Structure 1
Amino acid sequence: MQNRNHIFFYYHPRQEGEKTNYLKSLAEQNGLHVVPDSKNASIIVSLGGDGTFLQAVRKTGFRQDCIYTGITDDEQIGLYCDFSITRFEEMIDAVKNNKIEVRRFPTIKGSINDEKTFYCLNEVSLRSSIIKTIVVDVRIDGEHFETFRGDGMVVSTPTGSTGYSKSARGAVIDPLLSGFQVSEVASLNNNSYRTLGSSFILSHHRKLQLKVVQDGNDYPIISLDNEAWPVQRIHKVDIEMDDTVIKTVKMTNNTFWNRVQRTFL
């Protein structure tokens, strides 16, 4: 990793002001060099919530040669954000004195219509864009598994299992397990369509394909993490995992399950 002390701040333009200036000044005072281009940074810091963190990772290209960290602009600590703006100095001290651990979050990789390739840290969801169910043939490792009819399907990473997937009655998965979860959204089960009716987890070695059945509802929407992709006609989505991970810093006393407990219990 080059320029180990180069730091880039990602935030919404409307946040430009006293808070961001304070963070940049504090970083400079502690021997870090603030850079205007994320490509030149070894540390990328998002300022906002978990949604901003996801955007920071996506907008900077899922970089494998840098460390990401999230800072909330209030006192709420998120599932991806270990620090609040009032604890930024604590984060710098932890980095300088090796009081942190580096954790690696797995991602899922996919392609749309064999053309557009993408990565997701949280989830990819395929949903109907009109008031009509969508029909999807689900294939695992090239073999037909089921034909789904309903509002949509969600494929999540272990860390993403606490988001949309959990709302769709998926399980919360330990990020130390390398695999991805498939969850149904309002499936229709009758004599014509029959699905498993529950979420299922696939090994990172598996390959999943969601093939849209062209029955008149030919314009579903696809969202990657918290961003919709402008693909007008989706025929199929192929999903798998590779070795791409997002490296983040965490305090030694703040595990994934600490954050799950703090958020939900």
Structure 2
Amino acid sequence: MKFSIQSRGDDLSNTLAEQAKGYLTGFGMVFNEAEPDIVLTIGGDGTLLHAFHRYRDRLSETAFLGVHTGHLGFYADWQPPELEKLVISIAKGEYDVIEYPLLEVTISYRSGMNDAVYLAMNESTVKSPDVTLVMDVELNGMPFERFRGDGLCVSTPSGSTAYNKALGGAIIHPSLQAMQLTEMASINNRVFRTVGSPLVLPAHHSCVLKPVKGPDFMVTIDHLHLLHKDVKTISYRVAGEKVRFARFRPFPFWRRVHDSFIDSDIGQDVR
């Protein structure tokens, strides 16, 4: 089995990465950064997001797992003292693979240049370089609303606990094939109206944003911040690809939610 390791870059994460590499090669596994079967990230959820984008073209062949050297993450669920136990399980191949849905983002341009297509594991946001973002929102090809406000966020179910939650969006179990559209400080008065609530869209639905004011927008794809000029539309759908995680033990999603936002001292298995 071929493996790769991505570290956050701090001293602790780098030390653990070297230890893990030594353990795994000692078990006869092959360190291969180009074509890994499994990618071990050491740091936090951000480290795993970087690894996901690094291996964007190998999603059907590569599984991810994470060791957290900071706060408990939704993707990085192993702790440093468990490293030796983890690498033994990796070497023995004692794991299942679970898949989470991703978000496909397609940006088309008025000039006719080729579309830009991205995959997001957590979310994509759209903001205007100007003070107010004005966008027409279409759902399944039908006009839904004209949004005015700070911006819009479209998230995956696994990313619903990140920026989406901070915006007041719903937390969605990652087994659901869906995406969520959440507003950022929408303008609502007697003249301008939006639905004002997060929208959860199933996999067969699409969401298209059409600029009303200005052709240039700041678009984020997870941790990537990209300025796109001359934009015609920004389209979202649940991607055909999925991200694969190596799961060595049960860690139910609602337990992660409880531990992260309510109390890390959970006494029961919340599924």
State TM-score, norm by structure 1: 0.89
Specify the alignment match of 2:18 in structure 1: 21
2:85 matched to 1:90? yes
- Gaps (5+ residues) in structure 2? 110-114, 263-271
Identity %: 27
Secondary structure class of the residue paired with 2:256: helix
Q: Is residue 147–residue 195 contact of structure 1 (8 Å, CA) maintained in 2?
A: yes
Specify the alignment match of 1:124 in structure 2: 124
Runs of 4+ in 1 over 6 A off after TM superposition: none
Deviation at 1:242, TM superposition (A): 3.1
2:253 matched to 1:256? yes
Q: Is residue 156–residue 179 contact of structure 2 (8 Å, CA) maintained in 1?
A: yes
Residues 51 and 191 from structure 1, CA distance in 2 versus in 1: closer, same or farther, beyond 3 angstroms? same
- Gaps (5+ residues) in structure 1? none
Specify the alignment match of 2:60 in structure 1: 64
Deviations 1:3-44 (A, max 9, x none): xx1101123456585332212111112232212x2x321011
Measured in 2, the distance between the counterparts of 1:230 and 1:89 equals 43
1:232 corresponds to which of 226, 229, 232: 229
Specify the alignment match of 2:269 in structure 1: none
Residues 50 and 147 from structure 1, CA distance in 2 versus in 1: closer, same or farther, beyond 3 angstroms? same
Measured in 2, the distance between the counterparts of 1:240 and 1:59 equals 22
Q: Is residue 45–residue 70 contact of structure 1 (8 Å, CA) maintained in 2?
A: yes
Specify the alignment match of 1:41 in structure 2: 36
Specify the alignment match of 2:147 in structure 1: 148
Deviations 1:78-134 (A, max 9, x none): 10112123322222233345653321110011211161000011001101334x111
Q: Is residue 7–residue 14 contact of structure 2 (8 Å, CA) maintained in 1?
A: no
Residues 234 and 88 from structure 1, CA distance in 2 versus in 1: closer, same or farther, beyond 3 angstroms? farther
Secondary structure class of the residue paired with 1:241: strand
Deviations 1:217-244 (A, max 9, x none): 4432110011112423433211112331
Deviation at 1:73, TM superposition (A): 2.5
Deviation at 1:141, TM superposition (A): 1.1
Specify the alignment match of 2:178 in structure 1: 179
Number of residue pairs the alignment of both structures matches: 255
Say what the alpha-carbon RMSD is for the aligned residues: 1.9
Measured in 2, the distance between the counterparts of 1:17 and 1:262 equals 26
2:6 matched to 1:10? yes
State TM-score, norm by structure 2: 0.87
Residues 233 and 46 from structure 1, CA distance in 2 versus in 1: closer, same or farther, beyond 3 angstroms? farther
Specify the alignment match of 1:135 in structure 2: 134
